[in-house]
Amino acid sequence: MSPHRTGPSLPRARGVLSAGVTGYLRDEGALPDPDAARNADPYGDDLQLALYVCYELHYRGFDGVRPELEWDPPLLAVRAAMEDRFLTALRHDAPVESSLDEVLDGLLVEPVRGTGVSWFLQDRGELRHLRAYAAQRSLYHLKEADPHAWVLPRLSGRAKAGMAAIEYDEFGGGRADRVHAQLFADLMTDLGLDTTYGRYLDEGCAPMLTLVNLMSLFGLHRRLRGALVGHFAAVEITSSPASRRLADAMKRTGAGPAAEFFYTEHVEADAVHEQVVRRDVIGGLLEDEPGLAADITFGITATSFVEDRLGDRLLTDWQA
Amino acid sequence: MPNTPEHPCRITLGDEGPLLVEGPVEVTCADGSVAVSDRFVVALCMCRRSRMYPWCDTSHRRRTKPGEGPRRSAD
């Protein structure tokens, strides 16, 4: 084994699936039976952590895990069983019941008063809540926009150009200090958190793992490119107003300039990205492949469903 | 992208919402203040409700009171 660390540590197991997968990656045991995936809670800690670990092999990998295991056929077979369980549950729980235009219009209406996490943090959030929120969100934001880059080779023309332009902005427009993942690390420093990639995986609650897995699932499978675009649109459209509330929370609590800047940058950037993703990415993709409208809509409904579960979980924890 | 006769700066007007202008841009506001952005596209606020004027912050969006309008993500 390499004397220096080659990635984050494997997380602690949360059940038979995650124990089997992490043991296999350490070359210490057999893979779990795919039947265990078919019977698992599709949104539970065990399946979501095991799936997260499988997907992480495509991002940074884990310390002490052989890189070849990224494309290990037996591991991919177990992953496929978990993905099938997850995706089947999502299609059941986040059904497409309206047209794409109707769903987009719904996202573009802003309530005068809301009840979600960003409203709670704006009105009553204390530094301990903001730290807990940032630690959870770090599972995504330290690889912000990475899962969406996988869709680029599957797009063409206007959709590709629009998506690439947004991703360029997400990745700092050519400047390392402006990469959004770096801006989030700066926020974490302001909040006194450890910015090491993967540091808070063990603390990651099942709904947060589910959200990151949703992006990885949509990003890694070409057949789900419409859902990936829908997911991305949902994130960009809802981001600006929520980021304003979070910026206000950071300011009110004195979290620090970098913590505030991360969210004010997202207010401004995502007001642009929202326009480009609707006009060029969705508009261009539908010109090329009109049959993908339902998949794009599913990406939006699935994202709202998963985000709502995360919000409910955090608010339940904080208001207990 | 440089602003040349062959490649003029592209500006997009929609039914509602901001004016989209290819960046980088320098905007002089009515009070003489200057805002600069090197983003690939900037969204200029047209409704004048933005807290980040001259940049759009989505304040133009239609508002609903509690109990009306479609269900949406709890962000």
Domain count, chain B: 1
Question: Domain containing B20: what range?
Answer: 1-60
Low-confidence ranges of chain B (pLDDT < 70): 1-2, 66-75
Per-residue pLDDT, A1: 46
In chain A the domains, ranked by start, together with CATH numbers, are: 16-93 (no CATH), 100-318 (1.20.910.10)
Q: Residue B65 falls within a domain, yes or no?
A: no
Contact by Cβ (8 Å): A154, A225: yes
Tell whether B58 is within 8 A of chain A (Cβ): yes
Looking at residue A5, what is its pLDDT?
Answer: 74
Cβ within 8 Å, pair A111-B63? yes
- The interface predicted TM-score of the complex, written ipTM, equals 0.90
Low-confidence ranges of chain A (pLDDT < 50): 1-2
CA distance B75 to chain A (A): 5
Tokens 């596209």 — which residue? Answer: B41
Is B58 close to A274, i.e. CB distance below 8 A? yes
Half-sphere exposure of A264 (CA within 13 A, CB side): 15
pLDDT of residue A4: 67
Do the domain assignments include residue B36? yes
**CB contact (8 A) between residue A240 and residue B64:** no
Provide the token pair at B74.
């709890």
Whether residue B66 lies inside any domain: the answer is no
Q: Is residue B46 part of a domain?
A: yes
Taking an 8 Å cut-off on Cβ atoms, the answer to whether B18 and A173 are in contact is: no
Instruction: Give the pair of three-digit tokens for residue A288.
Output: 């090329």
The answer to whether A271 contacts B64, with C-beta atoms less than 8 Å apart, is no
Distance in angstroms (rounded) separating the CA atoms of residues A159 and A153: 11
- Given a contact cutoff of 8 angstroms between Cβ atoms, the answer to whether B74 and A312 are in contact is yes
Q: Taking a C-beta distance cutoff of 8 angstroms, is the pair B41, B20 a contact? A: yes
Q: Which of B38, B41, B69 is facing A109, going by the closest CB pair?
A: B69
So what's the pLDDT on residue A6?
A: 74
Residues of B in contact with A106 (CB under 8 A): 69-72
Q: Does B39 touch chain A (CB under 8 A)?
A: yes
